[in-house]
Structure 1
Amino acid sequence: MKPLAGKTVVLGISGGIAAYKGAALCSKLVAMGASVRVVMTEGAAKFVTPLTLQTLSRHPVATDVFDERDPSVVQHIDWADAADAVVVAPATANIIGKMANGIADDMLSTMLLATTAPVIVAPAMNVHMWEHPAVMDNVTKLASRGVRFVEPGTGQLACGYVGKGRLAEPDEIAGAVAALLAGPQPLSGRKVLITAGGTVERIDPVRYITNDSSGKMGFALAEAARDFGADVTLVCARTDEKPPGGVEIVRVESALDMYEAVTGRLSAFDAIVKAAAVADYRPLSKEDKKIKKKEDKLSLELVKNPDILQAVGEWKASHPGERQPFVIGFAAETGDLEKFAMDKLRRKNSDLIVANDVSEQGAGFAVDTNVVSIYGPEGLVEHIPLSAKRTVAERIWQIAAERMTRE
């Protein structure tokens, strides 16, 4: 399921250093099913080439209002009329000023003046420029006309300043487009909590026990849930990946940290997905200082960590009158998939178990694909062959949303 299938999005890229993120946004919108038409200003084309955007969008890129390639139409009017939404990202102070004051002196500003489609603006500029009264007045004026804004983030800016003005992440901007155009989504109005990554169990300040989890499956689930309309909280342990935008991030390190983060929030969510790889054991004690090498052997005593999925299932069983989250667990196995998955589902009072054989090619840790079998109380619900983790995540949520609606 692609939330923007059948939709035409005109992406306007103006001339700021963040123009390179416009390429990532274009790719993201295409992946969500949109037909993307890119309009670039002369300045934008100095940061990233039109050929790059043409390749990603699979359509010609418009840069010059006088470059009319099709004599049967006037391009800026044709694209303005065809758009289901127009997104300007990055939007410089200059293009925001043109929009606010009706100036049309290039392809992008002319098309923006001609369109009646909803417009989303993602500003990017120096912090002092963003806070300048002229820019704030222009933003207020546009907002009063119904233009939607994806607020810039705070962080290190290309100019060297640290402050507000950094372009929002492409995921967040694409999520705003999906929320605008896709209408009611399978998870619209739902609150979901997802765990991801591998927990870290400290031995001393420089050593720890962990596992090979990359967090990619959990992040794909968070991203898909967000695009399906959910309000997502992502409890994230160790990972080398960057979490998706547009979701609440709760950072944790150890299994005990994750246990507290999840069990302290149980009544607030409609669905809980335990996709993290949680260490079964932790060192009995953590040394305050680095352990020095002295003996030929070192014994390390481990104690069992609390079972988070078990705790969620037990909470459900003991709170029948309260809000009951739909619980999805994961089982990473190396054989006897159905046997272990069904046993886990029953013991831990889960609604679905997503099982995979991590020894199978393309289904292990730190890869972008997965092969899973989804089990419910009745047994095998669906087997998903080798697919991108995002595709797997979308199908998991489609199955879960259907079952949540029945309850």
Structure 2
Amino acid sequence: MLERFDIRSLDAYAWVFDLVSADDEVREAAVRRHRTLLWRQDRSRPTGTLADPVAAFAAFADERAERTGDELRRLEPFALLCLQWQERFPADWRRVQPRWPRVSWPIYGFIRHGASPPVRAALEDLLLDAVHRPRRHRSDGRYHDLARHLDSPALRERLRAAAGAPDRAARLHAGYVLWCVEHPRESMTDRSWRRWRRTHGVPITHPRPGPELAALPAAEAAAELAGLGPRELAEVFEALEPAPAARIAAAMGDDPVVPAAIAAMALRPAAWMFNAMPQPLAARLLAAMPPDLAAVRFPRPKHDQVLLLMSAEDATARLSLMPPLQASYQLQYRPADVAARFLTAMDPDAAALALAALHRGWGPVRILDALPPDAAAGLLARMPPQDRDRVCWTAETERFEAAARAAVDAAGPPVT
């Protein structure tokens, strides 16, 4: 049974506000302390990190116990801090993820319990900040849920102003959130976002409306789109569902405008489009794009042949430019020798961070064993100290357990 968080211990958590300190050294020390406490703690007990008050606010610590209004107001600053940390210092946040706390926790807590006026104002600011930046990950959609609970004439006016912003991505994002607020019965999913985008955000009318273009045979649609520039073709691809967009791209053959158009697309629509393609086509188009633009548009890791269908040079160039967590997703379920080969060819600093972020699949230990000893030592030396400690501790534990199992097997069955 989980040990319930004691709100009387809240003063001991004052240090977590250093996670958003403007002083780099203070913030780095807080992030390191947070990570160390998380991976060494028994999860049945409070961890001593920001996760404890945030989980208590969201009522995950003990579903049977309802917090009083005074307790909720005391926990609110910690829930708000969790969102501010993710928004202001996303690189530090990613170093802690995929561990606690999760960004959805405080949002669900505010949806469930409401917010006091000062915190509500700060939440509106965070919502507008999220609208004005590119969507980072799926959890950004939680802000859409929160927007409906923060709904007010002032918020709608701010969203209308954001919907007229010069930046196209911010304009579309703000328009969609405003539509969600004004239509509370509509679902808020990736599919509804794409539907809204096709019908309200950027409805295409040239060379014909999107539904008509998608219904054409791929070769006919490709012929109608011939002659469009990368920016115009990107708008058409973004306005279509991923599957018909992928079919039309395949029908356009080796036209160099296709990879240029996908490179000009927003990140998520481009990744969805690659997910809908045959892997050889995805590999060819990603190889034809600039490495930095291709790296952040890769399809999800289940398309595990895309990297292998590219040349070693193209694959490692794109892996080296991926965010560490995304690169770890591309490596996590590959055979250890294949992952080791990629890491050896990558930029050493990028390889070290990708290996440190590898928490799933086969984990970092088998890959380290498949590397030459000097290469493994070099990657460990380049890791942040807390990651190096965790990886070394995990490796020692796994090797000890393997040796113990081998000794038991060698000894044979017990004598009766």
TM-score (norm 2): 0.30
Quick check: which one's strand share is greater?
A: 1
Which fold has the larger relative contact order, with Cα–Cα distance below 8 Å and residues 6 or more apart in sequence? 1
Quick check: which one's helix share is greater?
A: 2
